Amino acid sequence: MPSLENLEWNLRTLEPTGGLSSLRLTASIFSVLPALALPVFAQHPETTPTTLAPLSTPAHEIFGLSLFVLLITGAIFFSVAGLLVYVIIRYRARGESEHEPAQVYGSVQVELAWTVIPVLIVVVLFLTTARIIFAVQDAPKPKSALDVTVIGHQFWWEFRYPKLGIVTANELHIPVSTHQRPEPTYLRLLSADVDHSFWVPQLNGKTDLIPNHPNEMWMDPQRTGLYLGQCAQFCGVEHAKMLIRVYVDTPEQFTAWVQNQQRPAVDDAAVAQGRQIFETEACVNCHTVSGTAARGTVGPDLTHLMSRATIAAGAALNTPENLHAWIQNPNTFKPGALMPAMQLDDKQIDQIVAYLLTLH
C-alpha cells in the first residue's frame, strides 16, 4: 500500500519540532495534498529517496517552507491561469467580422496594481525564505554532535569519524537523535578529486563537496532505518553509481557498530593464502586493512568490509558471487570505475574472496 505508507510519513511531519510552528501549521494543512497525489506514482515507498517525507530537522524546515511557497505559487497559478482560460473562451473570434475590437493602449492604475501586488508577494516570500536559510545554515552546533568527515572520490564515498578513529566507505552509520537525547550529526564535506554533492533527501538538502573548499551540513534523523541517496553533482562516468546508504541506528546499535569498527581486522589463519595474494598483489596500493601491510588510501577501507551490505558504492550487493565478479572485472557493475581488473585466475580470486569474507 504505497499511498498509505507515504501518507503516514507525511502525517509524521506534522509533529512540531520547534520554531516556525505558525508556518508549519499553514503548511501542514497542505501537506496532505502531495501526500495524496505523489505516492500514486511511487512504487517503492520504503526505498524512494523522496523529498516529501522529511525525517530530520533541516529536511522538515525545508519541507514546511516548500509547502508555504507551494501555497502562494499555487494561488498565483490558479488565478492567472483562470484568467487565461476565461480570456480564451470569452474573447475567441466567432465567425468573420469587419469590425476591429476597441483598441485599448494601457491603463496606469491597472498596471500599477499588478506591479505592487507581486512586489508584496516577493517581500513575504523573501522574508520567510531568509528565516529558514539562517535557521538551517547557521544553527549552533551542540556539544553532543557527532562529527563525520565525508570525502568524495570518483566514484565512492569515504566516511571518517575523527573522534572515534573509524574509517569506512559508502555506508554511513549515525545515531538517531531524539528530543530526550539530541545527537545531531555534522558532516564536514571534502573532495579528493572533482566536485560531488551529498544528497540524502529525507535527511537534508544537498551540499557540494568541492576540492579545496570544505563545506558543512548537519542532520538529526528522528527515526531509525535505512535512508538512500546519491551523488548529485555530475562527477564523471560512474556518477550514477555513486550511491549513499545512511543507517540511522538506535544508540545501542550505534555503540555496537562503533565498537566493531574500532577493532583491527580479523586475522584468520584459514584464509592466509587469500591474504597473502591480497598483500602481494597491487590491492594494497589502494586499499587499507588495518593491522596489515595494506595501507592504501585511494580506494575504500576494507577492514570491516563484511559489515557493509553493498560493494562498489551501492552498485551491487555484498555477496561472495558479486565480490568475485567485481574483483575479476569491476566493469561488470561499474564500467569506468577506477579499480582495474587484476588479471587473476579464478582460484586466486576465490582465495581473495574467502579472505575478504572474514573481514567482519
Site mask for other proteins (CB under 8 A), range 150-189, x = bound: ----x----------------------------------x
Stretch 208-237 residues interacting with other proteins (CB under 8 A): 208, 210-213, 215-216, 228-237
Q: Count the neighbouring beta carbons within 10 Å of the beta carbon of residue 326.
A: 23
Of 210 and 306, nearer to other proteins (C-beta) is 210
Of 66 and 290, nearer to other proteins (C-beta) is 66
Strand partners, 230: 243
Query: Could you say which of 20, 27, 35, 62 contacts other proteins (CB under 8 A)?
Result: 62
Q: What is the DSSP letter of 330?
A: G
β-strands 225-230, 310-311 pairing: unpaired
Q: For residues 116, 117, 121 and 127, what is the CA-based torsion angle, rounded to 10 degrees?
A: 30
Is there a contact between 198 and 172 (Cβ–Cβ < 8 Å)? no
Stretch 281-310 residues interacting with other proteins (CB under 8 A): none
Q: How far is the CB of 304 from other proteins (least distance, A)?
A: 24
* 247, three cell numbers: 543507517
Of 134 and 263, nearer to other proteins (C-beta) is 134
Q: Does 190 bind other proteins (CB under 8 A)?
A: no
Q: Does 42 bind other proteins (CB under 8 A)?
A: yes
Query: Could you say which of 4, 11, 29, 83 contacts other proteins (CB under 8 A)?
Result: 83
Stretch 314-333 residues interacting with other proteins (CB under 8 A): 314
Stretch 89-118 residues interacting with other proteins (CB under 8 A): 91-93, 97, 100-107, 110-111, 114-115, 118
Is there a contact between 266 and 258 (Cβ–Cβ < 8 Å)? no
Q: How far is the CB of 262 from other proteins (least distance, A)?
A: 31
Rounded CA gap, 310 and 284, in Å?
21
Query: Could you say which of 26, 29, 36, 134 contacts other proteins (CB under 8 A)?
Result: 134
Rounded CA gap, 189 and 66, in Å?
25
Q: How far is the CB of 234 from other proteins (least distance, A)?
A: 4
Rounded CA gap, 67 and 60, in Å?
11
Is there a contact between 282 and 342 (Cβ–Cβ < 8 Å)? yes
Q: Does 8 bind other proteins (CB under 8 A)?
A: no
Is there a contact between 190 and 273 (Cβ–Cβ < 8 Å)? no
Q: How far is the CB of 10 from other proteins (least distance, A)?
A: 13
Of 49 and 251, nearer to other proteins (C-beta) is 49
Q: What angle do CA 62, 64, 69 make, to 5 degrees?
A: 90
